Amino acid sequence: MITYLPVDLQLKDDYPFTCPCGHQQYARPSIAMRFDLNMGHGTCKKCNMFLHLEIVLPDNDAMKAEPHDAWSARLEASYR
């Protein structure tokens, strides 16, 4: 599912996230996030997994990461 960010949310410069492999790293907000869509993507610097990233609300101090394939399959299923 695609979730939205509050329009008055103050995005931070970067957010910590932990890859499913356990490696913690940082990501900057995506272009979509700047337009209030809570979605971004990136690649783990350790294991190279392609990840879907979302800002954790309401705390706004971290992102959660999951394999991009798992997220896109769930998204596709939600439109069936």
Bridge partners for 54 per DSSP: 64
Does position 44 interact with Zn ion (CB under 5 A)? The reply is: yes
Q: Tokens at residue 71, please?
A: 């997220």
Which tokens in the block code for residue 42?
């990136």
With CB under 5 A as the contact rule, the residue among 2, 3, 12, 21 that binds Zn ion is 21
Which residue(s) pair with 50 in the sheet? 43
CB of 48 to Zn ion, least distance (A): 7
Rounded Cα gap, residues 80 and 77, in angstroms? 5
- Binding flag, residue 39, Zn ion (CB under 5 A): no
Does residue number 27 form part of the binding site for Zn ion (CB under 5 A)? Answer: no
List residues binding Zn ion (CB under 5 A): 19, 21, 23, 44, 46-47, 49
